[in-house]
Amino acid sequence: MQNHDESEHLAMLRDTLRRFIDKEMPRKLVRQWDRDIHFPRDVHDKLVALGLTGLTVAEEYGGTGRDITAMIVVIEELSSRSMSVASGYIQSACYAALNIAEVASEEQKRSLLPRVANEGLMVAYGFSEPDVGADIASVRTTARREGDTVIVNGSKRFCSGAAISEYIYAIVRTGPVEDRYHNLSILLIPPDAPGVTLESQETLGLKGGGTYDVSFNEVVIPAANIVGGDEGWNKGWPKVVGAGLDIEKIEVAAMALGIARAAIDDAWDYSQQRLQFGKPICTIQSIRHMLAEAKTRWEACRLMTYNAARLVDLQRPATVETSMAKLFVCDTARDIVLSCQQVMGAYGYVGDFDMERYVRDILVMPILGGSSAIQKNNIANRLKLPR
């Protein structure tokens, strides 16, 4: 479907991305990346060369100026072909650029943001732990100051892309347990630092960058790696729950939007090629209804995602709208993909077709970036529904 309301610069960006994807990310190669759990660094570098990692970096730091809607376009398009490439882009343009710009010290911004824009520097989130999910304030990984260094001990779980990133953006406890919300700091920990151990986790989808359990055993990093500098010590909680959370929600929505669009396109084409009883299955009413409903629901997802991005770009309050987009788009996109798999029947289940990968990748979207249950809580609380 055409995005008739899209500005000229976004339409040109989308066209550039689709030509890039056709040339640099052919379907056969993307399937191989998924099977091999491979991150195509050369493709990421070409995205950097196109200036796409600079879309979230201010001009004074070497980028083109923050454009969240353009970033969402990139994520949607890349996700429609390869979550391996899309995830790497997110770790650079979103996790690295947006967090550093929002909460890092000026010295850290001047050191790291040009590397995001010009080199595609990536960070991996180190928030979850074996016994800690949504309740981030309960992390057990600890850090202590020793002169100009910080010593880290503990473990993180579900650390996607840790092995391909320059840093793990880790939230750790740096004060007494009883000082909840006032005892947390964020550190930039190189994954190849002595004492860091990465253990690969086998996941159903999102294969490209890998997902890891990460252990820290007396890991020594410079105090300069405290996000926000010395003033960031024990001030990690406000940095985690700031405006960046709103953007992360629509990042995930954009991924789900891209996957669902790819599933619809494949099922739409398949329905015209697959013959049963002497005619294409697209002539069967039940198939026509499934595809029409998928198209309609996807359009609603698109409108919600880009409306939320627009509000963020305008710097308007958008916590409710981003939570609604995350909730509705991810749950609906999952249903769309499963419906499209049904259209393709057994062919939607085998590795010769991309549909089975779409299914594997979409299932985690309602969980990433705050689960659907968390988003429902956010919406009800922000709209002041009495408890």
Is residue 257 within 8 A of residue 301, CB to CB? The reply is yes
Confidence band of 86 (pLDDT split at 50, 70, 90): very high
Q: Which of 89-105 are b and which e, b meaning 16 or more Cβ less than 10 Å from the residue's Cβ? A: bbbbbbbbbbbbbebbb
Summarised one tens digit per residue, pLDDT across range 218-259 is 999 999 999 999 999 999 999 987 767 889 999 999 999 999
Summarised one tens digit per residue, pLDDT across range 365-379 is 999 989 999 999 999
What is the pLDDT, as a whole number, of residue 137?
85
Give the span between the Cα atoms of 127 and 231, in whole angstroms.
21
From residue 313, give the alpha-carbon distance in Å to each of 17, 50, 247.
21, 22, 10
- In the chain, the DSSP E strands lie at 123-126, 142-146, 149-160, 167-173, 184-189, 196-201, 211-222, 275-276, 279-280
Q: Which of 253-263 are b and which e, b meaning 16 or more Cβ less than 10 Å from the residue's Cβ? A: bbbbbbbbbbb
% the chain with pLDDT above 70: 99
Residue 166 CB neighbour total at 10 angstroms:
20
pLDDT average, residue stretch 53-60: 97
14 class by beta-carbon count within 10 Å (0-12 exposed, 13-18 middle, 19+ buried): middle
Task: Point out which residues pair with 171 in neighbouring strands.
Answer: 186
Domains of the chain by start residue, with CATH:
8-121 (1.10.540.10), 125-236 (2.40.110.10), 244-382 (1.20.140.10)
pLDDT average, residue stretch 158-163: 95
Q: What is the pTM of this model?
A: 0.96
On average, the pLDDT of the chain sits at 95
What is the pLDDT, as a whole number, of residue 244?
76
CA 345-350-355 angle, to 5 degrees, is 70
Closest CA to 152 of 108, 190, 201: 190
